[in-house]
Every structure is written in C-alpha cells, then in structure tokens.
Structure 1
Amino acid sequence: MASSSVESEQDPEPDEPTFRFDQNNTSSQSLLSGGGSGYESQYGSLFGTIAVVGIVLVAAIITLAVMLSSCGQNSTVNVQFKRSADFCSSFRLNIELNNMQGRALPGTCDAEIFEYVHGGQYIKDVEMAVNSARHYLKSLVLEDNQSFGVILDIDETALSNVFLYQNGGYRSKEILDESFGRRVNTNTAAPLLPVLDLYRELRAANWSIFFVSERPESALKLTVQNLLDSGYEGWRGLFLRSAGDSESTVQAFKSNNRIEIEKQGYQILCALGDQWSDIVGPATG
C-alpha cells in the first residue's frame, strides 16, 4: 500500500491533563476521567461539523418544503431574502447528510457561508462535535494492556483553513483546489483549537494518535512542520497520499490506511474528520 508514515519525535507534557490513565492498574477501568476543555467535498468542511465516532451531527428536524412559497407578484425584498436564506440552510443541511455529491455551490449562498464561518456558528459546531467525542471516550472501560488508537484527519479537523477564505471564495472547485495546494505548500493552516485541546488530553492519557490525510506525500515535510508549529506533538503515525494512491478513491485510501494501522496491533476506537470518508468503511472505531 502506497502511503507515508511518520512518527512525531516530540511528546507533549500538558499541565493538569484532563484525561488520566493508570498504567499500573491491571483491572478493567475507565480510561478517561475529569472534565472537558474549552478534497472529496470541500463544502462539508465549510458547512458541517466534524464527523465523530461514526456519528455525524445533523439537525434533528429537516425542513421538507424549501423555496416552495407562493410565486405571487407582490414579493418584497425581505421575502426574497428569506427564500434565499431558507434555500441555503437546506443546502447546508443536505451537505451534512451527504445528499449533495457535487461541488457546485449556488452563488446566492456566499453571504450565508461567510456568516456561518466568520459569525461564530462554525466553531460552535466544531466544539459540540469534539465534546461528543470526548464524552464517548470518557465512557469507555477497557483493559489497559491494549494499544488504543484514535484517527484524525488534518485539514478542517486538526488544522483549519476555512478562515482564510474570503466572501465569494467558496464556490469554485478550481479555486478551492488551487488555494488548498498553495496553503499546503506554504504551511499556513492554523490549529482548530477544540481539536487541539482533545488531542493533548488524549496524549496525556497515553493514547496512540494517527493522522490519515489525503494531502500529497510531496507535502510531507511542510505538513509535519505545520502540525508541530500548531502544537500537535507525539503522534504515532502520519499517513499521506502518495502518487501510487492517486487513482483510488479517498474513502479507499483512508480505509486501507486504517486497516494497516490495526494490522500493526492498534485497536482503533475513535475516528474524527470533516468528511464521510473519515468514518465510513472498516476500522473506524
């Protein structure tokens, strides 16, 4: 299998770790204790939340009738704006539900996307998803003689690029792919802080953490530096996509690497990412 695996040489020592692991206790126990802390589809990362432990957080109520209001001639500007907002909300929800397979995003939604990303809701959704993972991991009672693994995606999971987009820059696939390549090659992605907090807690509890990303293998050195500069230290493995993987789907690439990790003796109990490929298929926890 063509992939690149790199182990971080540095190990963090976070102060007062939230998660604790007693390695001297040979009985079954809760691994986690304490309180929490504060390109298949690029649009899933702009609109959606992080997919956690096979659970994608989506709205509980789906609006079935969108943009089907009356076509009367007396529509006001406010009504037209509401129709646009309703349409964009429905578009966002269907992306989260994986119903929108293409990348085409209506230009009428540019303002709504900008507000979602820069108005605070995006980071709130990330925090809620990460807290769901945290609560799940705290609930586990496992034998301490096993090697436990957590899988993380990189872009829009460990690192964030969405705040670099400007209004009107979300729609074109060509623009997205080009800007993504530039960012990878200039080491500009910032840490997504709720994920970084969870990462440090897991490392303090002696979990083995692996990064599986569709970033190209040619960006390995810059990716390692970007992760280290952002505070991600002490990971067990980093898997990037080599030229030999370019013909496979993203899901197949990520699934194959997760299987390889389990063949190395690790038990994957959690997978976090912004794409369905991060939680669909074998070895996702």
Structure 2
Amino acid sequence: MASGRNMIVLLIFAFANKSFSETIIQMHPAAHRAHADDKGSGFYCESWRYSVETNDAGEWRSIPARCIEFVKDYITGERYRSDLEVVAENSLEFVKNVKMVGDGKDAWVFDIDETLLSNVPYYAAHGFGSESFNEKTFNDWVGLAEAPALTASLRLYKELSEMGVTLILLTGREEFQRNATEKNLLDAGFSHWEKLLLRNPLDKGKPATTYKSERRKEIEDEGYTIHGCSGDQWSDLMGYAMGIRSFKLPNPMYYIP
C-alpha cells in the first residue's frame, strides 16, 4: 500500500511540475507581446532609449515614430528627473573623493543646453525632438532667455562652487547669443562661472566633438585640471582632453555629432 501511495504522489508531482514548467515557458512571450506596444512605447522604446544613452545607437537622426509619445512621457515625467538626480549624485560622490590642489585650477566643465538649462518648453512645442531642427525658431527661443534650470544640475553646480571648484561653461551656442545666455543662466540661478565659452566664427561648421575637444585642450593648456565634464551629448564628452571623469545626462530628444 505504501509503495502504491508513493507512486501516486510521484505521478501527481511530475504532472504538476510539468504543468508549472509549461506555464512559465508560455507566459513570458505572451506577457511581452501584451505590453510591448502599449501607447507605442513599452519594451522597444525603453530599449531604444537605452541604446541612445549608451551610444550603441551611434549617430541617430530622429526618434522612431512609435516612440514619440514615449519620449514625451519620459522627458516630462518623474523618470527623467530621477535619472538627472542620480547623475548629479554620482558626480558629487566622485568629486568628494578627488584630491584637489586648491589653487583655483581645479575645474569642472559643463555643457549648457539639456545639462544646466532645459529647453523642454521649446521642444514641447516641436514634437519633443520628432520634428526637423529649425535653427531660426530655436535661436528665437534662446533669445528669450527663459529656459529653466535643471534642478539636479543647479544643486550640483552650487555644491561644486562651494567646494572651490572652478566652473567652466562650454556650449555649442554661438557668440552672438552670449548676452541672452548669460542672462538666462543668472535668472535660472547659475553664477560665479570662470569662463563661458561659445562658438566663434572660426568654429562654424566644426563637429561638436572637435570644437569641444579643442576648447578643453585650451583649458588644460592654461594649467587647469579638468576633474569632471557634464553633458547630455556624447560629443560633449568624447574626443581628447576629456578630463578625469565624464558624466552623461539623459537626452532622447536629439543627437549632436
């Protein structure tokens, strides 16, 4: 009798185990299909954004049509703000462990657009980057000097200043936009920068990676040690004279080579 009961238990266990295994195998693809295209985002758009931020996507030209709503939800939501907070925290944690000389030559280089100032109000009116870039309308927006600060970046900026780090701003904006840029920065809470470097006529047509590398090299040639660089584009951070550490802020709206 005991052996009979044991055989029944084994058969029940084997059947249950087989059924459970088959359920697991079949459930995952079905669940994936059910959520993959929710509002045109889901797994595909999250993976696309990952490839953009890690630079696996290389020189991408536009947001996939199916991901426009996804980018809008991301860039206007808590996820974007949380990602910015983490980048700022990582930057601060790094600099706290840096041995600085303290001679005024310990520097941090910041990009401006989507790094210190947010152009989301502009891009909200232009498809969150899904429309072709219009230089005139964007320059008109810059001239208004109304871009708000990215809160996490402003806090990092102020903490670096209090630590005695020399703050250098390196932007792809052009020299004719200096007054508007300075006003916007000051109104948004940024101050006490050492240099504000903009493109001059000789820089016209240079890829951002080349232009920014040349400017960073000039900074180093002046005796500064660039402990950190912050930017939303890989072209803000790559090239040469890159500094000791680079910190990439998220930006799935556009790519600048």
Q: How many Å apart are 1:82 and its aligned residue?
A: 7.7
**Uncovered stretches (5+) of structure 1, i.e. residues with no partner:** 1-68, 71-75
CA contact (8 A) 1:269 1:284 kept: no
Greater radius of gyration (CA): 2
The TM-score with structure 2 as length reference comes to: 0.75
1:149-164 equivalences in 2 (<5 Å) = 149-164=107-122
Q: Which has the higher helix share?
A: 2
Aligned residues: CA RMSD: 2.4
Structure 2 residue aligned with 1:85, among 20, 25, 42? 42
Structure 2 match to 1:102? 60
Structure 2 residue aligned with 1:129, among 60, 82, 87? 87
SS at match of 1:141: coil
CA contact (8 A) 2:208 2:236 kept: no
Please list the CA deviations of residues 158-198 of structure 1 after superposition, one character each: whole Å capped at 9, or x if unmatched: 111124433834212235x4543222121121111111111
Structure 2 match to 1:208? 166
Identity of aligned residues (%): 32
Structure 1 residue aligned with 2:71, among 113, 122, 125? 113
- In the alignment, structure 1 residue 196 sits paired with structure 2 residue 154: yes
1:123-272 equivalences in 2 (<5 Å) = 123-145=81-103, 147-166=105-124, 168-175=127-134, 177-272=135-230
Q: How many Å apart are 1:259 and its aligned residue?
A: 0.8
SS at match of 1:154: coil
Structure scoring higher RCO (CA < 8 A, sep ≥ 6) equals 1
Structure 2 match to 1:29? none
What amino acid does structure 2 have at the position aligned with 1:98?
N
SS at match of 1:150: strand
State the distance in 2 between where 1:237 and 1:229 align: 17
The TM-score with structure 1 as length reference comes to: 0.68
- 85 and 163 in structure 1: CA distance in 2 versus 1, 3 angstrom threshold: farther
SS at match of 2:228: strand
> Where does structure 1 differ by over 4 angstroms across 4 or more consecutive aligned residues?
76-80
State the distance in 2 between where 1:263 and 1:79 align: 51
Q: How many Å apart are 1:107 and its aligned residue?
A: 1.9
State the distance in 2 between where 1:79 and 1:266 align: 49
